[in-house]
Structure formats: C-alpha cells, structure tokens
C-alpha cells in the first residue's frame, strides 16, 4: 500500500515538473521562431551598418545589466522553495533591491559613455535601451512561479508580450521607421512584460500590497548574492565585450556581421536555461533524499546538455553559409564563417548553465565568480590579440576558448570542483567516443 502511494507521489511529482518544463519549452520555441523571424527581418531592414550600431548599444548596456539583476534570481527561488511563509518579505525586498539596481545602472552608464568614442545617436540608443531595466524588476514574479513550478503564467505573459512586440516591429519596418524607434521597442517590451507578470500574479489571488521591504532579508540576500553580482558582471563582459571591442577596433558593419552570427548561435541558449530553471527545485529536493540521487540527477542533466549542444552544432557547422545567406541575405556574407566557430561555444554554455545552478545549491557563489572572472579576462586579452589578426573571426575564436576555460577547464584546478570536472568530462567524452565507435 505504502509502496503504491510512494510510486503515485513520484509519478505526480514527475508530471508536475514535466508539465512545467513543457510550458517553458513551448514558449521558448515559439519565442525562438517568432523572434528569429522578426529579428532577421529587422536586421535585413537596417542593414549591417545600422544593425551593428543597434547591437553595439544592446551589448554596451548588457555590460551593466548584471548590476540591476543583483544576482538575486537563483537565490530568491532557492529561498522560496525552502520556506514559502516568508514569500512577501522575499519578493518585496528583491523587487526594491532590483529597482535600486536599475537606477544605479543608469548612473553608471552616464559615466561610462564619456570614456567611449560614441556619438549622440549611439548614446541615445544606449540610454533608451537601458531604461528597460527599471521594469525588469517585476521579474521577481517569475521567480515565485519558478519556485512553485507554475511557469505557465510566465509563459502566458511572455507570449502576449512577444506578439505585441512583433506586431510593433513589423509595423515599424513597413513604415520605414528610423533606428531609434527599434530602441524604444526594447523599452516597450519590458513595460508590457511587467504588466503581464503583474496581471497573472494578481489573478493567482496574490497581492502586491503585501510585499514588504525587510532590511534583515535584504542583508541576507545580498550576503549570498554579492558573489553572483560580480559573477554576473564578468559573465556580461565575456558575453558582450566582443561586440563592444569590435566596434571600437573595427566598425559598425563588422559588429553587424558578427551580431548576426551570434544571434543565430545564442537563439539555442534558452534550452539549458529552461531545463535547469524548471528542474532546479527537483535537484535541490533530491539532495534531501540522498547524495547519490542528487549527483545522479546532475550527471544526467550534464549528459543531456552535451548531446543537445552537439545535435545543434554539427549541422550548423556544415550549413552555416547557407543558413546565413537564406536568412540574412548576401549583405551578411561574413556571418557564416563566424557562425561555424561560435556555435561550438554552445557545448560549454550548456554545461555552464547547469553547473551555475549547482554552485547555488552548494552555496559556492564565490567560486562561480572566479571562474567567470578568469573567463572574462582571457576573453578580453584574446580579443586584443586575435581581432587585429583575424578580424571578426578572432572574436569568435576568443569566445569559444574563454567559454571552454570558464565553464569546464577551471574546475580541474580547484579541489572543491574536481567532481564537477569529472562529471562534465564524462558528459563531453561519452558522445565523442560513441560517435567515434559508430564511424
């Protein structure tokens, strides 16, 4: 009898997480398809020069957005899973902390643009896009729905925002709108999404009025998240600095070519994020049962990530020129070669997303910072040497190498992370041996 009840509970638990993951996957796939279609249309309309400037502005803002996030997302989810009774204090405190972080970003950008070669147009684009971080404070609602494995409400809000945004972008293209109008759409998107989150949170019988800012909670959250803030900053650096450096060292056209390839590569990055975010509560709960189950689930997750990344990278390698020409047109002819290199960074990105969740579960945020710090430093130095020598292809090589070092090789040099290195190695080399044996 008890065995049947336990089996039923396990089945119900599995179905709960499966449904949650399915909702997230459906939304992300839809976002990838619609977003790529509209995004490519925007890129073709703007051309490499203006698209490059637009991408540069987004990348420049991206260097600072980690400050607005404050590394709170995973921490808040973890705390909500542990103790939902403190929901209002956690969410209220996280919201106001993120709001303060958003205004700090605007101040930092005001200082940073003075040290660039940007003209008025570039600076205007940067500040319009950066204003979106203010409304992104409402993503604390997303954190709560993650902790309750109720992501369908987040999906609803995202889909509504996606379609409104897409309609607006298409209208701008058809009306031959100027570049700055597309920057305003970035801000508009964040406003629509904030309203969507708010609507479904209220519809779920919760209230914003009950949110409270608690100094003690804020202190505890920041004590756990400050390494993740630093880690987020350096992640932003080695994910975005390449486009900023290409613009400073080459020109807007080069940024446009590079950005086109990057967007095709990074369109797949939702896969590890969705799977990890949805299964994060299950992995934490597994540790309560046994260490063996905990690490067995983690190993399976690493294995799946590598297989998925290879399944994406292999065909894209051989079809890169054809895909770019089909989607972006002949103006973006250089992007094919970039895509061929950049797509392989996905293996280490997929592994890095999973291991980042593990760092949070084990409260090893400081080590998470150091691995991304060295990845960022290596990326910057490689860009300095490789971009002048190999043009935009050098930036792609720099990204691939730095991702590999930060998300994989670094673990081999720390005793606390050696087990992670071994697990990732098993995940990486098993597909390689499998493919080799099949040849």
Q: According to the model, what pLDDT value does residue 210 have?
A: 75
pLDDT tens, 27-43? 667 777 777 788 888 88
Higher pLDDT, 208 or 12: 208
- Mean pLDDT, the chain, rounded, equals 81
**pTM for this predicted structure:** 0.74
- Express each pLDDT in 393-412 by its tens digit: 999 999 999 999 988 999 98
What is the percentage of the chain residues whose pLDDT exceeds 90?
10
pLDDT confidence of residue 21: 60
pLDDT tens, 80-133?
777 666 777 787 888 888 888 888 888 888 888 887 777 788 888 999 998 888
* Count of residues in the chain: 439
Give the model's confidence band at 8: pLDDT under 50 very low, under 70 low, under 90 confident, else very high: very low
Given a cut of 90, whether residue 382 has pLDDT beyond it is: yes
How much is the CA Rg of the chain, to the nearest whole Å?
Answer: 22
pLDDT at residue 9, as a whole number: 46
Residue 71 has pLDDT above 80, yes or no: no
Q: Check pLDDT > 90 for residue 171.
A: yes
- Comparing 178-182, 227-231, 407-411, the range with the smallest average pLDDT is 227-231
How confident is the model at residue 378, as a pLDDT? 92
pLDDT of 383 reads 92
Helices marked H in 113-214:
120-130, 132-135, 140-147, 152-174, 179-203
Q: Sign of the C-alpha dihedral, residues 235, 239, 243, 245?
A: positive
Angstrom distance (rounded) from CA 101 to CA 87: 21
Question: For residues 14 and 135, what is the distance between their CA atoms, to the nearest angstrom?
Answer: 34
**301, 354 in Cβ contact below 8 A?**
yes
- Sign of the dihedral through C-alpha 53, 59, 64, 67: positive
């Amino acid at each position: 009898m008890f065995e049947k009840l336990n089996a039923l509970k396990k089945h119900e638990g599995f179905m709960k997480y499966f449904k949650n993951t399915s909702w997230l996957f459906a939304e992300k796939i839809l976002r990838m398809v619609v977003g790529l279609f509209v995004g490519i249309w925007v890129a073709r309309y703007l051309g490499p020069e203006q698209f490059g400037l637009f991408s540069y502005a987004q990348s420049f803002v991206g260097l600072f957005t980690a400050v607005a996030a404050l590394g709170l997302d995973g921490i808040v989810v973890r705390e909500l899973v542990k103790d939902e009774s403190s929901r209002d204090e956690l969410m209220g405190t996280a919201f106001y902390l993120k709001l303060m972080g958003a205004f700090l970003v605007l101040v930092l950008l005001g200082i940073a643009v003075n040290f660039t070669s940007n003209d008025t147009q570039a600076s205007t684009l940067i500040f319009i896009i950066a204003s979106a971080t203010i409304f992104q404070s409402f993503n604390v609602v997303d954190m709560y729905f993650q902790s309750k494995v109720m992501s369908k409400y987040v999906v609803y809000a995202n889909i509504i925002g996606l379609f409104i945004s897409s309609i607006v972008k298409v209208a701008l293209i058809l009306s031959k709108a100027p570049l700055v109008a597309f920057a305003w759409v970035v801000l508009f998107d964040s406003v629509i999404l904030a309203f969507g989150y708010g609507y479904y949170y209220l519809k779920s019988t919760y209230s914003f009025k009950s949110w409270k800012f608690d100094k003690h909670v804020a202190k505890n959250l920041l004590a756990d998240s400050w390494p993740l803030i630093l880690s987020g900053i350096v992640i932003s650096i080695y994910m975005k600095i390449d486009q900023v450096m290409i613009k400073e060292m080459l020109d807007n056209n080069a940024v446009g070519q590079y950005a086109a390839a990057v967007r095709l590569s990074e369109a797949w990055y939702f896969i590890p994020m969705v799977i990890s975010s949805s299964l994060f509560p299950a992995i934490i709960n597994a540790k309560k049962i046994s260490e063996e189950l905990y690490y067995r689930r983690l190993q399976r997750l690493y294995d799946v990530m590598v297989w998925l990344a290879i399944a994406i990278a292999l065909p894209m390698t051989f079809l890169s020129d054809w895909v770019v020409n089909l989607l972006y047109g002949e103006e973006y002819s250089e992007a094919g070669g970039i895509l061929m290199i950049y797509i392989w960074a996905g293996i280490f990105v997929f592994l890095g997303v999973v291991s980042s969740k593990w760092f949070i579960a084990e409260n090893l945020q400081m080590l998470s910072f150091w691995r991304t710090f060295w990845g960022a430093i290596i990326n910057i130095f490689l860009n300095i040497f490789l971009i002048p020598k190999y043009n935009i292809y050098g930036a792609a090589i720099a990204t691939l190498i730095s991702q590999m070092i930060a998300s994989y090789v670094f673990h081999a040099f720390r005793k606390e992370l050696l087990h992670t290195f071994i697990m990732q190695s098993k995940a990486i080399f098993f597909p390689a041996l499998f493919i080799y044996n099949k040849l």
